[in-house]
Structure 1
């Protein structure tokens, strides 16, 4: 609930600054405690606070914003302190929520909320594991050689970068090879690792997947043409993921998701609040689910993050592979409204269980779209074994994602025409750059892939690399497809959000200091005038 007491307190130039500073201190203390990497026993012994009334160890401390009192909530000691001292506010260190004694309830204030978020982001950016040195991270700046560096470059020997290199099969590791090849020809990942954005010499991680990616790009783009064996990458995968360990055949899509998670965890810029690592900048989008009650028309929307899109190959209930066997047809089925029975939905507005309609749409399009066709049915057949769907799927070289976005679908529901899309067409257009194929059955199959290098298409079969064509790629039996946005929205030299927040806080504090100084000067002037009037 909103509170007039906190608003009046923050408006006071003398008291408001002290309350905000105390609130920042508490939020920063808890954020540092969460990020602390020392052993749990030592962390509890050193930093666990106690109640100032009963001396009990506090797992959820409440701190007074007017003094240094810390107390427990369940026993009511912090509430008693507020009433006895006529202090108004205390803060829950775990969530940052503020309790007002005058309102006798937890309250909401936009200034408090933004202060908590900016403080936590600042502490997390300072203490995340990717930091090599203890200083504030600077934004990426493009490198322009000076005169001395230009002279060195002129005298340097130029080595040709091949960029086409097969990967050795280390024992049913074709699933790993095809995903790595798709990573290699992903333009955003390629530019990231070839520009030395992750330096293996400075990285302090153990079993770092980002370091393995950096080594992989160095090997592939070296002048060596013989096949490369990603033994170190495989060993690191086994160490960080028990599900992927062993020499048994694995699913390429499962390894794809595992690799993305591991790169995200060890990548520079990875945070828990506002992640700007290369994985989220490349693959992350948003999926929106709208559920509409057929009784009252109330619509509930939920937005979830997504890294890829998994598509059904046939309409539900069709055992013969019914439906359109095209990527567009799969996307239409994916975004088609679906009936929900009354037992699966209870409306929050009319508070009754009733039938509803659920519809999925893509709220935010990523820079790289990854599609997986669900070819493996893990339900048992009459023979008691799982089966693979070998239905061919036609997919285009260029793709327009506008009809499947939330923005366009909402507009189409209001506009019967639906022939025009909001915004420039470039924001919806994608081009194919890699395809993964699966041959054979589930238990004894083999993965191969196609990838585009410059203006040519190549087929990769482990260590064998052969020149191919776009037509051969489009006629293949795809398991996964990768599309890159045709016009990427580059924003060079952008100031990171945490720096913008910090700069805004500095400006706000300076303004508050000026107001505080003006108030003090006014008190001095009033006192002087009162003295003169008394004389």
Structure 2
């Protein structure tokens, strides 16, 4: 997306022309009003269905994410590039994403930001919601938004307030070989999505009544880390809650940081709001959940069987140990290429549904179908052979990973384009490059041997890097972080695509169940009344 400090010159020139600006802004408001009516304000499913989805003017398909040209009445799809083709053919400059209100400038080839456009977007959304959104109890229109103007009493109270500094860089005490816990908790603390969630009071441990709630422990952790106390904090209750929830992690033995990371995600998921096994929108799945697609191709008939599985992180294989690895083999990009390259399957591993027989020639390929907001990578430094339990070893090979990179080449859509274009080195992927860019914000390191090693980590706080070694917090640099012995890396999406609010499926299921119970009660009442009537008729 265009840097705010360097705004798009084309939108500035367009808004400077009074007649042209009025036309652009009018169409922009109409698109936003339609979006509110279709996706946000109308909660009744029957009413929402009456607001028809538009068709792409090129391919005549229904659009779940329509893009509208701001110069004419054209509406097209983004995935197939029809809206971009229209802008180029008609020499039009701007189009808008109806769901998010983001404006694309075809001359900049990027989504742009303009302060005036953003003010119009916010004002239009607030106005539309004020007109249509009603309170659940009173069924009255929502009161119009009014900006807060502090009174003299408010000003006096603000002037007398004492500002409490937020630390955000606080060490954690080692409670007895608990460095594995400390580094994972530090990665949680510096995760921007988790930070905004818990500091935004989305879960309050003082009001929660769930026993052994890991979300409560997370809320306590963020409260302590961002308090004014500079002394190291001991996550004793977090450790005790982990022991109760996961027996394999109990005790004071050294544990694997990745195993604790997965266990902590499951525990937070199980105790957070919106947690469900059907369609989960809890904070963990909203942050870490993506989709991994597996394509198995029969080399005999060309039949492809695809399956999609959820993922919370990606584990990557390493090559060699110590100096036995060649340069470039253990970079993050190389590991991802090995992760997504086709592999041959054994004769008994796959049976083609089209051929009807076990195929001796089949290949399997993994790709990222859906990218999560936060990507977590684990490098498999520890090897365990099933035949000999004492042959476990650690791969000390250095790993090169960047401060920022693009996941576009490893997505399912990009790989399909690569196959269509006969393995071109730089395939065309749908959407702007900003949709696939990630920035590093935390790294977990393992130092020492396999059985007596120690975990430390680096994390980014605002624009500065720090090294966390249990209770010791020291300023560091990005270069020191990139040269560390990485075991896990955490990247956050540079531009997050926020979706409009949708009622969770578990709420819809609960409402449907309540309606069904009322219908059953009515049926029972009708049956009882019929029995009474039959009894009265029998006495006549």
| 1:461 alignment partner in structure 2 | 469
Q: Is structure 2 residue 414 aligned with structure 1 residue 391? A: no
Q: Number of residues paired by the alignment? A: 365
In 2, the alpha carbon distance for the partners of 1:396 and 1:143 equals: 46
Matches within 5 A, 1:273-312: 273-312=278-317
Larger Rg: 1
* Residue 204 of structure 1: how far off its partner (Å): 1.4
Greater CA drift, 331-340 or 372-381: 372-381
Gaps of 5+ in 2: 1-144, 517-540
* Residue 503 of structure 1: how far off its partner (Å): 13
Q: Is structure 2 residue 475 aligned with structure 1 residue 475? A: no
* Residue 386 of structure 1: how far off its partner (Å): 1.1
1:371 match: secondary structure? strand
Which one of 222, 228, 233 corresponds to residue 223 of structure 1? 228
In 2, the alpha carbon distance for the partners of 1:266 and 1:444 equals: 33
| 2:114 alignment partner in structure 1 | none
| 1:193 alignment partner in structure 2 | 198
| 1:347 alignment partner in structure 2 | 352
Matches within 5 A, 1:86-235: 155-235=160-240
Gaps of 5+ in 1: 1-141, 510-535
| 2:459 alignment partner in structure 1 | 451
* Residue 150 of structure 1: how far off its partner (Å): 5.7
What TM-score do the two structures reach when normalised by structure 2? 0.63
Q: Is structure 2 residue 375 aligned with structure 1 residue 364? A: no
In 1, the alpha carbon distance for the partners of 2:214 and 2:201 equals: 15
Pairwise CA RMSD of aligned residues? Answer: 3.0
In 1, the alpha carbon distance for the partners of 2:217 and 2:508 equals: 34
* Residue 441 of structure 1: how far off its partner (Å): 1.1
Q: Relative to structure 1, is the Cα distance of residues 225 and 499 closer, same or farther in structure 2, using a 3 angstrom cutoff?
A: same
Are the aligned partners of 1:380 and 1:386 in contact in 2 as well (CA < 8 Å)?
no
Q: Is structure 2 residue 337 aligned with structure 1 residue 332? A: yes
Q: Relative to structure 1, is the Cα distance of residues 383 and 265 closer, same or farther in structure 2, using a 3 angstrom cutoff?
A: closer
Q: Is structure 2 residue 263 aligned with structure 1 residue 263? A: no
Q: Relative to structure 1, is the Cα distance of residues 143 and 326 closer, same or farther in structure 2, using a 3 angstrom cutoff?
A: farther
Are the aligned partners of 1:339 and 1:357 in contact in 2 as well (CA < 8 Å)?
yes
Q: Relative to structure 1, is the Cα distance of residues 468 and 500 closer, same or farther in structure 2, using a 3 angstrom cutoff?
A: same
Q: Relative to structure 1, is the Cα distance of residues 166 and 348 closer, same or farther in structure 2, using a 3 angstrom cutoff?
A: same
Are the aligned partners of 2:414 and 2:427 in contact in 1 as well (CA < 8 Å)?
no
Q: Relative to structure 1, is the Cα distance of residues 146 and 268 closer, same or farther in structure 2, using a 3 angstrom cutoff?
A: farther
In 1, the alpha carbon distance for the partners of 2:248 and 2:399 equals: 29
Q: Relative to structure 1, is the Cα distance of residues 347 and 150 closer, same or farther in structure 2, using a 3 angstrom cutoff?
A: farther
* Residue 497 of structure 1: how far off its partner (Å): 4.3
* Residue 402 of structure 1: how far off its partner (Å): 0.3
Q: Relative to structure 1, is the Cα distance of residues 260 and 500 closer, same or farther in structure 2, using a 3 angstrom cutoff?
A: closer
Q: Relative to structure 1, is the Cα distance of residues 450 and 319 closer, same or farther in structure 2, using a 3 angstrom cutoff?
A: closer
* Residue 156 of structure 1: how far off its partner (Å): 3.3
Are the aligned partners of 1:313 and 1:321 in contact in 2 as well (CA < 8 Å)?
no
Q: Relative to structure 1, is the Cα distance of residues 504 and 226 closer, same or farther in structure 2, using a 3 angstrom cutoff?
A: closer
What TM-score do the two structures reach when normalised by structure 1? 0.64
* Residue 502 of structure 1: how far off its partner (Å): 8.6
Are the aligned partners of 2:440 and 2:489 in contact in 1 as well (CA < 8 Å)?
yes
2:255 match: secondary structure? coil
